[in-house]
């Protein structure tokens, strides 16, 4: 079978198209015939590594997210999974041969979720990292909720920094499904239009407007939850707009890796600063997140494509290096590898 792998960390050109033996699922595993492979920032960061040029043995098949059809099951896995459409999450995490940038991927059965017929393979490959991250960000606030779904965020205000990004888009869509009032910040009208298509109620261009004043005009008592992509840049602003018992969920370090924490402005409202990385987040949360994201898909509440504010950028499997480069250079939207037409 055709697969992409890298045996040394570095630039996108370390990704190589190779022929690998067809893998067989072991006990508790399933084999998925991959149709789409989703590319996320975490994928190129892992490929680049802390020190480019470091040998990777055994070679790593990249990409955590994907979608396809279960075509084989291992011992202990119900045969009913055979032939089912699924989306895959954390396929490559601690599994050198598991990534979705290949024609067949073997993963633990718990790492596949049913993809209903109403959902495309494009959507399935876009769910894992962005939507699980967004769910975590939206459910770490002191007063809850711990679950998402219709009505769970009713009466609450959510601020999404960078609403045109993949996680920002996912946060807007999940918050819309959960009936929140959604405010988002963007850097230009084009990105604002994408955030509007995702479902944001209020869009603030931070290059042209006073964000604190605009947010306070919309939510006089402050926002309950902030989904933050640029903490080094926005920490003071975030503290200025938080409601009592509000939280700032930090999932990335765009704009710098060192932040100055505003202590007193955070202390007065008993604010929470929560750092988010899905790979080692609590297992109790993960089970809830997988169920909620699956429910949102079944409800038809989450989408991809231009009409959802998440343009799709497609690459063939042999163009995996170009796909990684696109994400690394900040492509707006979702980058997918079409493993199968």
Mean of pLDDT values over 100-128? 98
pLDDT for 341? 85
pLDDT computed for residue 241 by the predictor:
98
Q: Please state at what angle helix 231-241 crosses helix 211-218, rounded to 10 degrees.
A: 40
Task: Give residue 179's pLDDT.
Answer: 98
Can you give the pTM of this predicted structure? 0.97
d(Cα 250, Cα 229) in Å, to the nearest integer? 6
What mean pLDDT do residues 54-62 have? 98
The answer to whether 83 and 131 are in contact (CB under 8 A) is no
* Residue 43: predicted pLDDT: 98
Whole-number pLDDT of residue 115? 98
Other CB atoms closer than 10 Å to residue 74's CB: what's the count? 16
| Averaged pLDDT for residues 231-257 | 97
**What are the start-end ranges of the E strands in 187-308?**
202-205, 223-228, 242-250, 272-275
- Burial class, 83, CB count within 10 angstroms (exposed 0-12 / middle 13-18 / buried 19+): exposed
Q: What is the rounded average pLDDT of the residues 246-259?
A: 96
Mean pLDDT of 36-47: 98
Across all residues in the chain, what is the average pLDDT? 97
Closest to 134 measured CA to CA, from 282, 249, 283? 249
For each of the domains in the chain, give its residue range(s) and CATH number, in order of start: 2-126+310-338 (3.90.180.10), 135-279 (3.90.180.10)
Return the SS3 of 334.
strand
Residue with tokens 């997988």: 290
**CB-count exposure of residue 192 (10 Å: 0-12, 13-18, 19+):** buried
Give the pLDDT band of residue 109 (cuts 50, 70, 90).
Answer: very high
Quick one: pLDDT at residue 316?
A: 98
How confident is the model at residue 209, as a pLDDT?
A: 97
Residue 87: pLDDT band (50, 70, 90) is very high
Give pLDDT, residue 94: 95
What is the distance between the alpha carbons of residues 30 and 65, in angstroms, rounded to a whole number?
A: 15
pLDDT value of position 251: 98
Question: What is the pLDDT at residue 186?
Answer: 97
């Amino acid at each position: 079978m055709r697969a992409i792998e890298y045996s040394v960390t570095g630039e996108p050109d370390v990704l190589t198209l190779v022929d690998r033996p067809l893998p067989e699922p072991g006990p508790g595993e399933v084999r998925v015939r991959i149709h789409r492979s989703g590319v996320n920032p975490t994928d190129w960061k892992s490929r680049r590594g802390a020190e480019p040029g470091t040998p990777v043995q055994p070679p790593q098949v990249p990409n955590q997210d994907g979608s396809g059809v279960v075509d084989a099951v291992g011992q202990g896995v119900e045969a009913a999974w055979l032939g089912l459409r699924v989306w895959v999450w954390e396929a490559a995490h601690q599994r050198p041969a598991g990534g979705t940038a290949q024609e067949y991927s073997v993963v633990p059965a718990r790492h596949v979720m049913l993809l209903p017929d109403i959902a495309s393979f494009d959507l399935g490959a876009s769910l894992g990292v962005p939507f699980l991250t967004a769910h975590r960000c939206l459910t770490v606030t002191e007063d809850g909720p711990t679950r998402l779904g219709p009505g769970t965020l009713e009466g609450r205000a959510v601020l999404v920094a960078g609403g045109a990004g993949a996680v920002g888009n996912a946060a807007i869509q999940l918050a819309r499904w959960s009936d929140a009032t959604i405010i988002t910040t963007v850097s230009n009208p084009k990105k604002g239009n994408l955030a509007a298509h995702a479902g944001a109620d209020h869009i603030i261009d931070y290059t042209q407007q006073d964000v604190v004043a605009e947010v306070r005009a919309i939510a006089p008592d402050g926002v309950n939850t902030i989904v933050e992509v640029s903490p080094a840049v926005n920490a003071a602003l975030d503290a200025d707009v938080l409601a009592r018992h509000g939280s700032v969920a930090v999932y990335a370090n765009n704009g710098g890796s060192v932040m100055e924490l505003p202590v007193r402005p955070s202390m007065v409202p008993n604010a929470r600063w929560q750092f988010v990385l899905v790979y080692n987040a609590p297992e109790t949360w993960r089970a809830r997140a997988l169920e909620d994201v699956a429910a949102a898909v079944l409800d038809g509440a989450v989408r991809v494509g231009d009409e959802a504010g998440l343009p799709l950028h497609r690459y063939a499997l042999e163009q995996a290096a170009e796909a990684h480069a696109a994400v690394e250079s900040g492509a707006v939207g979702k980058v997918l590898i079409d493993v199968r037409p």
